[in-house]
Structure 1
Amino acid sequence: MKKTLVLISLLYSLAFCCQKTNNPVVKDILEKVKDHYTDKDLYKKLETEFQPEDWDTLTGKELAQKLTEKLRTVSGDQHFFIKYKDGLTSENKKNAKETAAENNFLNSLENFGFENVKRLEGNIGYINFKGFAESHSSAKTLASVMDFVANTNSLIIDLRENRGGDNGMLILFCSYFFKEKTNLYSTYFRDKEKTVQNTTRTKVLGKKYLDKNVYILTSRSTFSAAEGLAYFLKNYKLAKIIGENTGGAANPVDEFIIADQYLTVIPVGKISATITHGNWEHTGISPDIKATSENALKTAYILALKEIMNSKIQTELNRDELENLIEKLENEKSKMAVF
């Protein structure tokens, strides 16, 4: 409640400032926040005073940065983002189809977020995943990744550098770990006054990864849709989270162009998980096993090997070799902790 009141104060401040300086950019951004931000009662609770500042003295980039910092800091909502894009005029804007094609091409240059996929000793799968690109363009790559790790005994998904992305890709990735169709969460879009259900898919292009141990690595930089993957697999007891508490950004966003130069990202909806009736906004995901970002992979790897050994699951390594590998990893982890 305190954060909401402070954010309300900020928006009132912006409005007052706009009247004083008549800054059209700030006024338009304020109107977009008023019309689209997820809290529909924002303007009903204005209470505190505001010290005006002169927005007109700031350059385009400075203005965008300052507005972003204020909205994020005061609201605690890290999805707010304003970027100054010089030369973005109505004449050179691309239509939705052209933009999607360009984004898909750019995402393909980064392999749709899949940085590294491999099999670790002891038959442990490892996926280093850095971003959720659009699901239709990512589906075949995801299927190839999941087919590659299908025969491993357990799986580590590395989300330490993942800043999130496409909601459809979140649903698709989650679908690989659920046997049955599952309604994961609803999203209420207050600007459209509608609620959308988000449900896993029964069929996927690749092989599902079921009834095996899954470990998800997180850091303070893990954000948005990446947090969603950790949140749902954790709460359905399909994965253990190892690492650091995540950023805490759950609500979906929409983009707006202000004055042909300011890309403005505003949270426009609210997620409600079916299993918890809540989400990870502001709080982030708490790990099951705390570890520094640097030690998270070794921590998960050691745990995976121990659980395989205790369950007497056959791997390419015999018991002595597994014990030696665990000892080696623990020694390396200890040395990292010292430094």
Structure 2
Amino acid sequence: MTTLDTRAEPGTQEEIAEVVERTARLVDEHYVLPDVAARLAGLLRAEAARHRRERSWSTLAGALTRTLRSLNGDRHLGVRFHDRPLPEGGGDPLADDLPRMARASLGGIHRVERLSGNVGLVRIEPALFSPTLAGAAMTAALRLVADADALVLDLRETIGGDPEMEALVCGHLFDRPTHLYTMRQRDRPDRQFWSPAPLPGARFGGERPLAVLTSATTFSGGESLAYALQQHGRATVVGERTGGGAHPRTGFQVHPHLHLSVPVASPVNPVSGTNWEGAGVAPDVEVPAADAPAVAHRRLAAGA
């Protein structure tokens, strides 16, 4: 691997050409949709001359991202610029930052509240962190609302998540193991994700009314949880259509200042036979996100 200039300023045309080629190769090898991967790689190579005219690594990242999203709009696919050089040897700066984010957000438990009419509310923000990072916090929050007559799960600012945490949450909201989705990958066997069998301790369970709040900001892991609960008929989704990012990603360093995110899998819901990629999760009750808490509360309190 050739050592590239670590400056944030423009590189040489040869350096930029190498970054473009490396990006094309990695997308072609790893992107979850092989036919789209091949077309994107060809498009990157066809536009290499134009990309070589970019004036900085930052503008190159933006240009490459626009090209990568030009065919199917996959928002998990793109190149991000980092002002400070990334550590040698790769690593994923987004994944590496998760422990800090989890600590700073109390495990993603933004609010736990009892509303009038004995309606519980749990707001998750910014993400469904892995059970290793936040399982105890999530379990504590869900047990606090276990005796509510109805529950609001606020995912309006949930922009990502771990599938194991999604399964943990669903274990508190279903009364039996439930097949949430099958993750399909290019070069690995399919993997099924199920909610666990009910564990001892306080649980809200699978019978009482549940509303999930969404917004246009809700993305990725937040969408996955909302979609699973909706498709299984467990929850009413209230709010706005979500962002439409279903494909989980991995990362590659393509330059000391540039990190490439490539979706590598696609979840398939057992009820719908598909997912929310590109389309988002459509609410059952469509209202502006700001109005969703009050609308959901009224509906639950009235028994709707």
- TM-score, normalized by length of structure 2? 0.85
Partners of 2:260 and 2:55 lie apart in 1 by: 17
Residue 122, structure 1, aligned to residue 117, structure 2: yes
Query: What amino acid is aligned across from residue 50 of structure 2 in structure 1?
Result: E
How far 1:58 moved relative to its partner? 2.7
Work out whether residues 252 and 267 of structure 1, in 8 Å CA contact, stay in contact via their aligned partners in 2: yes
Decide whether the 8 Å contact of 1:21 with 1:54 is kept in 2: no
Task: Indicate the residue corresponding to 2:279 in structure 1.
Answer: 283
**In the alignment, what sits opposite 2:6?**
none
Q: Is the 8 A contact 1:36 1:266 kept in 2?
A: yes
Distance 2:92 2:282 in 1: 40
Cα RMSD over matched residues?
2.7
Between 1:195-204 and 1:297-306, the stretch displaced more is: 195-204
Indicate the residue corresponding to 1:179 in structure 2. Answer: 175
Question: Paired residue for 1:155, among 151, 154, 165?
Answer: 151
> 1 or 2 for the larger relative contact order (CA 8 Å, sep ≥6)?
2
**2:190 match: secondary structure:** strand
Would you say how many aligned residue pairs link Structure 1 and Structure 2?
285
Partner Cα separation in structure 2 for residue 198 and residue 240 of structure 1: 22
Assess, with a 3 A threshold, how the Cα gap between structure 1 residues 181 and 148 changes in structure 2: closer, same or farther: same
Cα offsets for 1:58-83 (capped at 9, x unmatched): 31111112222332343211111321
1:189/1:195 contact within 8 Å kept: yes
Aligned mates of 1:273, 1:128 — CA distance in 2: 24
Please say if residues 147 and 204 of structure 2, whose CA atoms lie closer than 8 Å, have aligned partners that are also in contact. no
1:61 aligns with 2:58: yes
Letter paired with 2:71: V
**The structure with more helix, counted as a fraction of residues:** 1
Distance between the aligned counterparts of 1:42 and 1:237, measured in 2?
33
SS at match of 1:222: coil
What is the TM-score normalised by the length of structure 1?
0.77
Instruction: Give the aligned partner of residue 29 of structure 1.
Output: 23
User: Is residue 223–residue 249 contact of structure 1 (8 Å, CA) maintained in 2?
Assistant: yes
Identity over aligned pairs, percent = 26
**Offset of 1:22 from its aligned partner?**
6.0
1:132 deviation in Å?
1.2
Deviation of residue 261 (structure 1)?
A: 2.6
2:216 corresponding residue in structure 1: 220
Q: Aligned partners of 1:217, 1:95: CA distance in 2, in Å?
A: 30
Distance 1:285 1:206, change over 3 A: farther
Q: 2:80 maps to which residue?
A: 83
Q: Which amino acid aligns with 1:69?
A: R
Q: Distance in 2 between matches of 1:44 and 1:72?
A: 14
Q: Is the Cα–Cα contact under 8 Å of residues 142 and 206 in structure 1 kept in the other structure? A: no
Q: In the TM superposition, what whole-angstrom CA distance separates every residue of 1:204-248 from its partner, at most 9, and x where no partner exists?
A: 476332211000111111111111111111111111000111111
Amino acid across the alignment from 1:201 = P
2: CA distance, partners of 1:282 / 1:234: 17
Cα offset, 1:128, TM superposition: 1.2
Aligned equivalents of 1:283, 1:57: Cα separation in 2: 32
Cα 1:90–1:276 change in 2 (3 A) is same
Unpaired segments ≥5 residues, structure 1: 1-18, 309-339
Question: Aligned AA for 1:202?
Answer: A
* 1:208 and 2:236 correspond: no
Q: Which has the larger radius of gyration?
A: 1
* Residues 1:195 and 2:190 are matched in the alignment: yes
Superposed, which structure 2 residues align to 1:69-148 within 5 Å? 69-85=66-82, 86-90=84-88, 103-130=98-125, 131-148=127-144
Q: Distance in 1 between matches of 2:77 and 2:98?
A: 21
Q: Tell me the equivalent position of 1:41.
A: 35
Unaligned runs of 5+ in 2: 1-12
